[in-house]
Structure formats: C-alpha cells, structure tokens
Chains A and B, each alone.
Chain A
C-alpha cells in the first residue's frame, strides 16, 4: 500500500539486547517522526527528521536511543542495551509539510517487549 510501513510489527527481546525498528514513510514526505506510546498514554515525541537530518531529537530519553535517515526516506530507530522500561509501541509518522502544522500519517507501529 501507499501508507507508512513499519517493521517488525512485533519484537520480543531480552534485557540488554540491541534492537532496530524500521520505518518506510509515504513517498514524497520530507518530514519523518518517531513517537513512543505506552499503555494508557498518548504518543510521546522522540525525534523528528527533515530530509536526512534530525531537526529535533529532544524527545530521545537517553543515549541508548539513536535514529538515522541516511537517504531522506527510510528511517531506523536503534535502541542499545534495552531495558524493560523500553517496552512500548513505537510509532512512525510522516508528513508533507516542512513545519509542524501538518497532519501526521502514522504507521501501525512496532510493539517492542523487553523481557
């Protein structure tokens, strides 16, 4: 389809392991966002890309989290030394507009469970 695609849809890992989550945005969208949603809460901002560069990474909780978008399209969220508190649904979204007043198009999310 033409929507935002996220893989894997589910990931179960052990504490301390490394995880990569991938996002393929809608073709032509220059802005890409990562959010994290815990149970009973709304999406929490992590990082935002405009093209290849991270325009705002103020939401990344610590240096175990890192994201890249090397060619301005697909993005990978990388989590090192995972902890149980990292368990959540990681949502990716993309947008047409260059500034933050456009609607976001979300993928279905990657559910991460850290045992």
Chain B
C-alpha cells in the first residue's frame, strides 16, 4: 500500500514555462510535506516544505500548494530552467513519526 504517490513518472517542459509536479497521499495523519530534488549519482536535496496548517508556501521560483481535503499537493516551478532537470520526490511525515515516506519520483526535463 503506497501512501505517497506520484502518478507521473516524467514531465517535459520548455524553458521559461511553468512546471507542475503532482503528489497524492492516502494517510490522513500526515501533517508535513516536503519536496526533494535529485541529480544522478547524488543524494536527494531538500527543496521546499509545507505544514498542514498552510495551503501554500513559496520560495523564489518554487511554490508548493496543499489541498488537504483532496489529499493532494503540487510543486510549481516558474519559470522553469534547464538546471531544474532532475528527479523530484514528494515526501510526507507526521509529528513524532521520525520518518518520511517518499513517492517514486517524477523526472522533470526542461528543454532549452
């Protein structure tokens, strides 16, 4: 039973356009959500997070939206740049859990 799902294995966008990566979760106990970015042969690096008490968090070109009723979150990248090409993982955790549960990732390709 996969509790965090990223249903799109890949996404391709043109440089300068918006990239939207989606994530769904099933465990209603999750109250904290994170996005990580991973380049080949490197470990994932933290990108942005959001607490369940918010519905939006913005950091520069990156914005995460949370829809708790739909158990859905999305990451928006505007404008997309070729250096954004990577695998993006959605992760979820809950207070006192100690661990994060990850989705299987979406490979983003930004074409120049």
List residues of A whose CB falls within 8 A of some B CB. Answer: 4, 31, 33, 35, 40-45, 48, 50, 55-56, 59, 91, 93, 99-101, 103-109
Contact = CB atoms under 8 A, between A and B. Distances in A.
Contacts of B45: 106
A49 to B, nearest CB: 9
Given A42-B89, A42-B104, A42-B105, A104 B98 contact: no
B106 to A, nearest CB: 10
B42 interface: yes
Interface of B: 4, 6, 9, 31-32, 34, 36, 41-46, 49, 51, 89, 91, 93-105
B31 to A, nearest CB: 8
A108 B100 contact: no
Given A42-B104, A43-B89, A100 B99 contact: yes
A64 to B, nearest CB: 21
A115 to B, nearest CB: 21
Contacts of A4: 43
B7 to A, nearest CB: 13
**What are the 10 tightest A-B residue pairs by CB atom distance, in nearest-first order?**
A106-B43, A42-B102, A103-B46, A100-B93, A100-B97, A101-B32, A100-B98, A42-B104, A48-B98, A45-B99
A51 to B, nearest CB: 12
Contact of A41 (B41, B51, B104): B104
11 contacts: A31-B98, A35-B102, A42-B89, A45-B101, A50-B98, A55-B98, A100-B99, A100-B100, A103-B46, A104-B34, A104-B46
